[in-house]
Amino acid sequence: MIPSSRIQYFLSFSLPIFFWILVMSSNLFSREVDNFTKRTEFLKDSTLKLNEITNRFIKKRIQKINNDNHSCKEESLYSGLKKDFNILVKDSPFLKALKKDKKIYKLKTHLKDSVYRDWGLMDSPAIRGLDLVIPSVFGEVIQVQGIRLGVDKFEHFFSYGYYYFNLHYLGKKEVKKALKFGLFMEYFNLGAYKSGVMSYGDLAANFNGMRFWNHILAKRKDPLNQNLGPYVKCRRGQWVFNKEVDWSQYVDESFDEAINCSRFRKGVMVQSVKERVREVNYKDGELKTCPLAPHKLKNMLKKYSQFSPYILNEKGHKEIPKFMTWKLFHDL
């Protein structure tokens, strides 16, 4: 029989490793954010700096392609920009620039201070598991055109946005197929069954990322009939920078998880978050429940129209519906 002291030693050594592996398999960059707890703290806007960084990467990429004599091959353009912006890959250029630049102002909330602090390990293995190994699991929040969003939204915007773009525009599937793919991923792989959070803010970022990738060359119709490109054009066999990206044209209240509320895996998780949200002090006119500003959510429902069920949560903090009974999945 193994002595209890050895069992305790083994557990103390192996459990952190287990949770490290668990979280690494989830993706370290997909961190949850708390848009409630520090709502009234001042946060300087980062829109102009974000625009500068983004446009710099596009300009450098097209210059490199032209120098390599790839002419106007769309595949070279997209694959190159994916390398620059794909922050699913550790230490990608865009992610490093975002972290390094002191003019990208960030706000951070620790798990112990967040609205999720009452969750246990069985509620959220990813959040609690990572917190055991690397405290301060929560992602940073920045401000774009007065709207607060987690840095994790850039992962969704660029990376999963490209998946949507590839499926809908390049693969010629109807746009709702791409939206349902994102919903499926957020339900099973990215959120609900790892962190316990199904983030509609992530889904909104995915959708707008799809729009961004389409706007690069602007060869196809925008789903919201707001074609903001082309950012790049082909002239005399070479790519040229045509128009600057402006983040204020993509980021809206649908990215803000205090407006576009998340759903949670279990009812007890919903209840604990609701109670913590009620304890926080907010700006004048904001409610003590999610959404903090229902009129802003209504504006988003109008904007996204037929796509809203795949992007927006109208019901506030609720338990995630059962997969087999959720109508949005029926024709997936």
What's this model's pTM, rounded to 2 decimal places? 0.87
Query: Taking residues 105-126, what's their average pLDDT?
Result: 80
pLDDT at 4: 52
Residues 68 and 62: their CA atoms lie apart, in Å, by 10
Q: Which of 299, 324, 325 is nearest to 314 (CA)?
A: 299
The answer to whether position 68 is within a domain reads yes
Identify the pLDDT of residue 131.
Answer: 53
Residue 7 lies in a domain: no
Any domain includes 1: no
Q: Which residue has the higher pLDDT, 50 or 329?
A: 50
Q: Could you tell me the residue range of the domain that residue 149 belongs to?
A: 27-329
Asked if residue 126 lies in contact with residue 195, where contact means CB atoms within 8 angstroms, the answer is: yes
Question: Is the model's pLDDT at 331 over the cut of 90?
Answer: no
In this structure, of 104-108, 131-135, 225-229, the range with the lowest mean pLDDT score is 131-135
- Answer whether residue 23 shows pLDDT above 80: no
Rounded CA-CA distance 10/5 in Å is 9
Per-residue pLDDT, averaged over 10-28, amounts to: 43
User: In the predicted model, is pLDDT for residue 27 greater than 50?
Assistant: no
Give a yes or no: residue 15 inside a domain: no
Q: What is the mean pLDDT of residues 47-54?
A: 97
Distance CA 35, CA 188 (A): 23
pLDDT band at 15 (very low <50, low <70, confident <90, very high): very low
Could you give the C-alpha distances from 72 to 33, 215, 242, in angstroms and in order? 40, 16, 14
- For residue 131, the tally of other CB atoms under 10 A from its CB is 21
Mean pLDDT of 52-62: 97
Structure tokens of 330? 């029926």
CB 312 within 8 A of CB 262: no
Task: Report if residue 4 sits inside a domain.
Answer: no
pLDDT at 89: 59
> What contacts 46, CB < 8 A, 6 or more positions away?
103, 104, 105, 142, 143, 144
Write a three-state SS string for the chain: CCCHHHHHHHHHHHHHHHHHHHHHHHCCCCCCCCCCCCCCCCCCCCHHHHHHHHHHHHHHHHHHHHHCCCCCCHHHHHHHHHHHHCCCCCCCHHHHHHHHCCCCCCECCCHHHCCCCCCCCCCCHHHHHHHHHCCCCCCCEEEECCEEEECHHHHHHHHHHHHHHHHHHHCCCCHHHHHHHHHHHHHHHHCCCCCCEECHHHHHHHHHHHHHHHHHHCCCCCCCCCCCCCCEEEECCEEEECCCCCHHHCCCHHHCCCCCCCEECCHHHHHHHHHHHHHCCCCCCCCCCCCCCHHHHHHHHHHHHHHHHHCCCCCCCCECCCHHHCHHHCCC
Structural domain tally of the chain? 1
Of residues 324 and 118, more confidence is placed in 118
Condensed to tens digits (0 to 9), the pLDDT of residues 122-134 reads: 656 666 555 555 5
Is residue 14 domain-resident?
Answer: no
Q: Which of 47-56, 67-76, 304-313 has the lowest mean pLDDT?
A: 67-76
> Using 50, 70 and 90 to split pLDDT, how confident is the model at 187?
confident
CB-based contacts of 233, cutoff 8 Å, min separation 6? 217, 239, 240, 242
Which of 21-25, 263-267, 315-319 bottoms out in mean pLDDT, i.e. has the lowest? Answer: 21-25
In a 10 Å sphere around its CB, with 0-12 CB exposed, 13-18 middle and 19+ buried, how is residue 9 labelled? Answer: exposed
Residue 285: pLDDT over 70: yes
Mean pLDDT of 37-49: 95
Task: Give the pLDDT confidence score for residue 112 in this predicted structure.
Answer: 87
